[in-house]
Amino acid sequence: MGISRRDLLQRSAGLGALLATTAGGLRISVAQEAEEIRFGTLCPITRAGSIFGPGAQKAMEFAAADVNELGGLLGGRKIRLYSEDSQSDPDAGVRAAKKLIEVNQVQTVLGTWSSGVTMAVAPIVMESKVVNMNFSGTTDLRDMKKDEWIWPVAGSNLAYGEMMGTYAIQQGYKNASFMAFNNPSGLTLGEEFKRVFEAAGGTCNVIVYNPNQPSYRAELTKALSTNPEVIALGSYLPDTTIILKEWYALGEPTKWIGPIWAVSPALVDAVGAEAAEGIVSIGAVPNFDSPAYAAFKERYEKATGQPVLANPFSAMGYDMVVTCALAIEAAKSAVAEEFRKKIRAVASPPGKKVYTIKEALDAIRAGEEIDYEGVGGNMNFDETGEAKPYFGYWIAENGKLDFKGPVKG
C-alpha cells in the first residue's frame, strides 16, 4: 500500500477532530448533578411515525415541566428528559435506546412506536432494568412476560379491530370485506374485526395485501367481489391513499372504515374531498371527561399547531411521564426497579380517582391510594399490563374529517 506518512497524517487529523468533539459531548452529558431524575424518550421523530412522534415528545416535555413546576419529586428532585429519535426503525431504535440507557443513564424509555421498534428494544430495557411505555399494539407484546417493565398504553390491535367491528355492527352492516396490510398490525385487526363482526351474525371476507405496491387493483377487486356494504381497512396512509383513489376510479358503491393512523386528515387531503366523502375513521381519543383535558388541548394546539385529536398519542405521552412520576413518588424511589412496581397501583383502580398532577401528588403524600385518570386515557392497566384507550369516530365530510363522538364497546 503506497500511503505516504503525510497523507496519513492529513487524513487522521480530520477524523481525530471529529472524535474529539464527540468525546467532548459525552463528557458534558455525564457531568450532571445527581439530584435530577433522568427520563428517556424514544419517539419516532423521523420517517413513518413522524406524524405522531414530535407531538408525543412535546407533550412529554409538558408533563416533565409540570412536575418540576410543582416542586419536583421526592422532596425537590427535578425530572430531566433525554430525547432520542427511533427513526421508526428497529435497528436505529436499539442504538438510540442503548445511548439513552448507557450514556444518559435514564430510568425510562418512553414512547416507542411500531411493533418492530418496541419488540427490538424490549429485551434491552428489561435487561438494563429500565421502564418502557409504548404506543405499540402488537399482540406479541401482549403475550410476552413483561414483568412490569413494559407498558403498552395506546391500545392493542385487538382493541382497534374490536372497535371497528363494533362500529360496523352498530351501523347495521351484515356483509363486510376487510383489506389487511400484511404485517402483525393489519392481520390482527382483520382477524379481530372478522371475529366481532361474525359473532354478531355478519359475514366478513378478509383480503391480505403486501406493502409497497404501486397498485392494489387486484386486491380491491377481490374485496368488492362479494358486494360488501362496507370495506374495513387494516392499513397505513400510503397504501390507503392508493386503494381509495383506485376505488373511486372504479365507481363501485361501498362504505369504508379505517383506523385513525390510516384514515387521517392527510388521507382526505391526498385523495380529495369527493373520494373521501363518508369514510369513517376509528381512533383512540383523549379522555374528554378529565377536567385537565381542556387545558392540555389548548396548550398542545398552541405549541404545535396540530389538533390534539389528530394525535391521540400526544395526550398519552403526557400520561406516560405523569404515571412514572407518580409511581416514583409512591415508591419513594427514582430507581426503575423500585418504582415499576407502583405503576399499576397509582394508575389503576382501586383508589381515589385523581385527574391532575397536583391532586395526585398531594394524595400520595397524604398516604392515600389513588387511581390516576390521564388526559389521554384512564391508564387502567389490565392483567397483561396493557392500558386500553377510549375510542371515537370521525367521518369525512366536504373534504374535512369531522369528529362525531365516542364509540362505546
The contact set with other proteins (CB under 8 A) reads 1-3, 11, 15, 18-19, 21-22, 24-26, 28-30, 41, 43, 45-46, 50, 53-54, 57, 83-85, 87, 89-92, 94-96, 98-99, 101-103, 115-116, 119-120, 122-123, 127-128, 138, 140, 144, 182-184, 187, 210
Contact 189/164 with Cβ under 8 angstroms?
Answer: yes
Nearer to other proteins, 21 or 251 (CB): 21
Rg, Å, the chain Cα set: 23
Residues 182 and 227: their CA atoms lie apart, in Å, by: 23
> Minimal distance in Å, beta carbon 201 to other proteins?
30
> Minimal distance in Å, beta carbon 72 to other proteins?
21
For residue 311, give Cα distances in angstroms to 93, 341, 344. Answer: 21, 29, 25
Nearer to other proteins, 89 or 386 (CB): 89
Q: Which residues of 119-141 are buried (b: 16+ CB within 10 A; e: fewer)?
A: bbbbebbbebebbbbbbbbbbeb
Grid coordinates belonging to 92? 436505529
Q: Coil, helix or strand for 355?
A: coil
Contact 400/393 with Cβ under 8 angstroms?
Answer: no
User: Cell numbers 389521554 correspond to what residue?
Assistant: 376
Nearer to other proteins, 95 or 358 (CB): 95
Nearer to other proteins, 43 or 271 (CB): 43
For residue 218, give Cα distances in angstroms to 47, 243, 250, 382. Answer: 28, 10, 12, 41
> Minimal distance in Å, beta carbon 57 to other proteins?
5
> Minimal distance in Å, beta carbon 314 to other proteins?
13
> Minimal distance in Å, beta carbon 24 to other proteins?
7
> Minimal distance in Å, beta carbon 138 to other proteins?
7
Nearer to other proteins, 28 or 34 (CB): 28
Which residues are bridge partners to 208 per DSSP? 180
Nearer to other proteins, 123 or 272 (CB): 123
